[in-house]
Structure 1
Amino acid sequence: MMLSGAEEFVRRSAKRVSLYRFHLDHCAQAKKILQVLEDRHGKANPANMRLADEYARDVFGDPVYAPWLRVYAAFCDTFKEGWIPDNYYAVVVVPQLKGLYGKIADLKPISQQLFDGDALPDVAYFANGLFFTDKSVAVPDRELKEVVFEHAERVVFKLDGSSQGKGVHFFDKASFDPERVRSLGNGVIQRFIVQHPMFSAFASKPVATLRFTTVVDDSGRISLRACYLRLGRADDTHIMSRRQICVAVKLENGELYDEGYSNWGAITAHPDSGVRFAGVRIPQFEQCVALVLRLHRKIPFARCVGWDVTVDANERVQVMEWNGGHNDVKFSEATQGPCFSDLKWERLRAVH
């Protein structure tokens, strides 16, 4: 249906307002982090800040992209060409290199159909009024509990589109109620993973995850660009973004960096357990890398994917979820970047 001139004006105006608010929010986030860095390490080098401002204007075409570049520069105490601002990634890269294909990651019942195998801990799904097994067979409510708990004592229900630790619910056989799940909305029921002892040493309750970032270049080659470990706090049932501990992982050997970060403040050990990061190597790291690269080959039309992976107590690699939308790149850019400089993403421009 053709829009009238007035309707088109309203639509474009609403989009501009939404985009303005989005950049304003990112600016506020970046300024807050910059303040944390300066409180700990002193005022950022003015020359680096000027370079960030100039790079945003000259390379990305807009000063709204300077705040994240300023954070990266303050974090590294230098300026590096090739960094991608997180808000530029969201409004320019994601729509052009993922589009609607990336959004299917929000529809959790689709994942098993895409990837097959036993890499996912999915046991059942609820979608549009029906429960299904991981083989897409409809299950009556009266049989659901038997299916869900056939090989698990505890399960996790994750809502479609859940992120940052929100929309996550835990059940055992006694507390599980199909009507309760129905009331929550569409999503996936997964086995509760008993994590590898190395992860439990940091925090035993929340399951630690590794965020792998893989990309597809213009020749169709798939490669790993970044990885970091996400740890929860001792009393959390699962990882919450606002409380998580992030530690970059060396891509060449799977070892943790010596320092991790809590709200961008550097720490050398987990704040609750006191376990240090230096010298720790991720179990089954090569297998984790091989798996995410293999899975990305099944969805190459989503050109950059964030994979949340863990290793269980039996050393099996499990993909807890994947993010084909705006997977966060700012932590990886600051700690391991520029991660994407050879891909020429800075040449892309927003589609209005």
Structure 2
Amino acid sequence: MMLSGVENVVRRSAKRVSLYRFHHDHGMQARRILERLESRYGKADPNNLRLADAYARDVFGDPVYAPWLRVYTAFCGTFKEGWIPDNYYGIVVVPHLKGWYGKISSLKPISRLIFDGDELPDLAYFANGLFFTDKSVVVPERDLKDVVFEHTERVAFKLDGSGQGNGVYFFDRAHFDPAVIRSLGNGVIQTFIDQHSLFTAFASKPVATLRFTTVVDDAGRISVRACYLRLGRAEDTHVLANREICVSVNLETGELCDLGYMSDWGAVDAHPDSGVHFAGVKIPCFDKCMATVLRLHRKIPFARCIGWDLTVDANDQVKLMEWNGKHNDVKFSEATQGPCFADLNWERLRAEPDLGRLPPV
């Protein structure tokens, strides 16, 4: 009994340390962004910031949730009730509404087992020492190159758990080596997507992605809550989180907003490399994209908020590049399009009770 008690104390202490670090990192990131916003656009109204602080304390129960509310407030020039702080989303909403069911999104070979249709560009997988096709047929290593390059000249390999542009590798037939895949680890081999000409006009090399956020409410209804376009820089092979340009998309019309935002939240009205402006641009096949994410989410409704990364190819076909059922980003959507989740009562959820109140960060 004594050993069990000691183990419980150690586990709770480790949890508290991990939680403190989580909130500390979010607080530091939010404060840096707030400083950048205020250096560019002037100091935020102190009265609005006080409203954000009070909302964090009174509604979410802890001042550790104030930093992101302050960022949203400074960005919008006013305070809005209903916003969800990104750290509250990650530490409270995600465990309550996704749990282990959301975590399976990091296991790339699982996607084909869950979703059907032609949206996935998956060609083959490597997992636990085996190569196999998108039909779960094991492929001898000597035959893998012929299978993978039967209908394409270039592929992308994405590691399990990859995100924010990390863990992504590109190969053509001449430089493809199964031994290299083995050395990298478990993941998916996808055909390289020839993107729609509208996206190519912004940046020809990195494939642009549309980040849709869908939710399942308490009645089981699935809806799209936000969407933005993620564009890479001209010299990058793919979109990287620390270099991307994000542009909100109007959910009613599929049109880009007039302004996009760099990774430091600085506003631009055109892509910094190509000079192509955002205003007046309509996303191709937007209705089809909307229908796709709604249909796919019906396959896994128990992960109740999902971020979907789609693109549209040169043949007007929607392609699902990946999906995120864990801590998908909500802060950009909340600042630019939010409050996106105000009707879902997420603010009533609470963190694990045994952690107690955290020290300020």
Answer whether TM exceeds 0.5 for this pair.
Answer: yes
- Alpha carbons of 1:213 and 1:8: their partners in 2 closer, same or farther (altered >3 Å)? same
> Could you tell me which amino acid in structure 2 is paired with residue 104 of structure 1?
I
Match of 1:283 in 2: 284
Q: Which secondary structure state, in structure 1, belongs to the residue aligned with residue 175 of structure 2?
A: coil
1:1-352 to 2 correspondences below 5 Å = 4-262=4-262, 263-351=264-352, 352=354
Give 1:117 shift: 1.4
Give 1:300 shift: 0.1
- Alpha carbons of 1:108 and 1:2: their partners in 2 closer, same or farther (altered >3 Å)? farther
> Could you tell me which amino acid in structure 2 is paired with residue 227 of structure 1?
C
CA distance in 2, matches of 1:335, 1:287: 23
CA distance in 1, matches of 2:16, 2:113: 37
- Alpha carbons of 1:2 and 1:253: their partners in 2 closer, same or farther (altered >3 Å)? farther
- Alpha carbons of 1:77 and 1:3: their partners in 2 closer, same or farther (altered >3 Å)? farther
Unpaired segments ≥5 residues, structure 2: 355-361
Give 1:304 shift: 0.2
What is the TM-score with the length of structure 1 in the denominator?
0.99
CA distance in 1, matches of 2:118, 2:3: 47
CA deviations 1:286-334 (Å, max 9, x no partner) are: 0000000000000000000000000001110000000000000000000
CA distance in 1, matches of 2:65, 2:225: 22
Give 1:2 shift: 11
Give 1:208 shift: 0.2
Q: Which secondary structure state, in structure 1, belongs to the residue aligned with residue 258 of structure 2?
A: coil
Give 1:210 shift: 0.2
Give 1:116 shift: 1.4
CA distance in 2, matches of 1:107, 1:152: 24
Give 1:108 shift: 0.4
Give 1:339 shift: 0.1
CA distance in 2, matches of 1:3, 1:26: 35
Size of the aligned set, in residue pairs, is 352
CA deviations 1:195-229 (Å, max 9, x no partner) are: 00000000000000000000000000000000000
CA distance in 2, matches of 1:271, 1:288: 26
CA distance in 1, matches of 2:42, 2:211: 30
Unpaired segments ≥5 residues, structure 1: none
CA distance in 1, matches of 2:89, 2:14: 21
CA distance in 1, matches of 2:158, 2:203: 21
- Alpha carbons of 1:3 and 1:343: their partners in 2 closer, same or farther (altered >3 Å)? farther
Give 1:260 shift: 0.2
Give 1:3 shift: 6.3
Paired-residue identity, % = 76
Q: Which secondary structure state, in structure 2, belongs to the residue aligned with residue 319 of structure 1?
A: strand
> Could you tell me which amino acid in structure 1 is paired with residue 341 of structure 2?
F
Q: Which secondary structure state, in structure 1, belongs to the residue aligned with residue 65 of structure 2?
A: helix
CA distance in 1, matches of 2:104, 2:56: 31
CA distance in 1, matches of 2:218, 2:233: 40
CA distance in 2, matches of 1:242, 1:180: 26
Q: Once superposed, which parts of structure 1, at least 4 consecutive aligned residues long, lie more than 2 Å away?
A: none
CA deviations 1:72-108 (Å, max 9, x no partner) are: 0000000000000000000000000000000010000
Give 1:54 shift: 0.1
What is the TM-score with the length of structure 2 in the denominator?
0.97
CA distance in 2, matches of 1:201, 1:222: 33
CA RMSD of aligned residues (A): 1.0
> Could you tell me which amino acid in structure 1 is paired with residue 332 of structure 2?
F
